Amino acid sequence: MKILLAIDDSKFSKAAVRMLIMQNRPDKTSVRILHVVEPIETPYYPELAPPYPKSFDDIKKKRMKEGRKLAASVAETLRAAGFTVQTSVLQGHARIMVVDVAAKWHANLIMMGSHGRKGLERLLLGSVSEHVVRHAPCSVQIVRASKRKD
């Protein structure tokens, strides 16, 4: 089985990692970890059109570096549990990238955590997991974190 594990640096993703380890056999599962670095959203000002000021490049590089470090840490956890693991850190919109990577990699399952946003927060920020469920080329497992503090 090929599982695409979409992660961010949250307790929700940590819960998805724990669930993946509990539910799957390492000898029959290949995992691809995906972390997506979202673009820096700015209000429209002509002076902020591409190419962006150098400070934006520095922020983007820092976020990519942090994403690679996060993906490597999760990969280490999964490898220690016996899984075959690949990592990908890409730039783009998470909701689109997760679906695209799953399709190109021919994933059997997408696993991801849910932030559980509701109301205005969900309206403004959107729901990555809802988009993935609606557009994924394969099954999707959404993992909710427990209410206890991790």
* CATH of residue 22: 3.40.50.620
* In a domain? residue 103: yes
pTM: 0.84
Torsion over CA: 49, 97, 89, 149 (sign): positive
CA 139 to each of CA 17, 47, 69, 110, 136: distance values in angstroms, whole numbers, following the listed order:
17, 43, 28, 6, 7
Q: Report yes or no on 16 lying in a domain.
A: yes
* Number of structural domains found in the chain: 1
Residue 27 lies in a domain: yes
Is 149 inside a domain boundary? no
In a domain, 150, yes or no: no
Sign of dihedral through CA atoms 136, 141, 146, 149?
negative
- The whole-number pLDDT of residue 54 equals 61
- 25 domain-assigned: yes
Model pLDDT, residue 115: 67
Domain residues for 18?
2-144
Q: What is the pLDDT of residues 53-77, one digit of tens each?
A: 567 778 889 999 999 999 999 999 9
Instruction: Output the pLDDT for position 124.
Output: 44
Digits of tens for pLDDT over the chain (150 positions)? 999 999 999 899 999 999 999 999 999 999 999 999 988 765 555 555 555 556 777 888 999 999 999 999 999 999 999 999 999 999 999 999 999 999 999 999 999 998 655 554 444 445 788 889 999 999 999 998 766 554
Asked whether the bond before 51 is cis by omega within 30 degrees of 0, the reply is yes
- With respect to residue 97, please indicate whether it lies within any of the assigned structural domains: yes
Helix (H) or strand (E) holding 6: strand 2-7
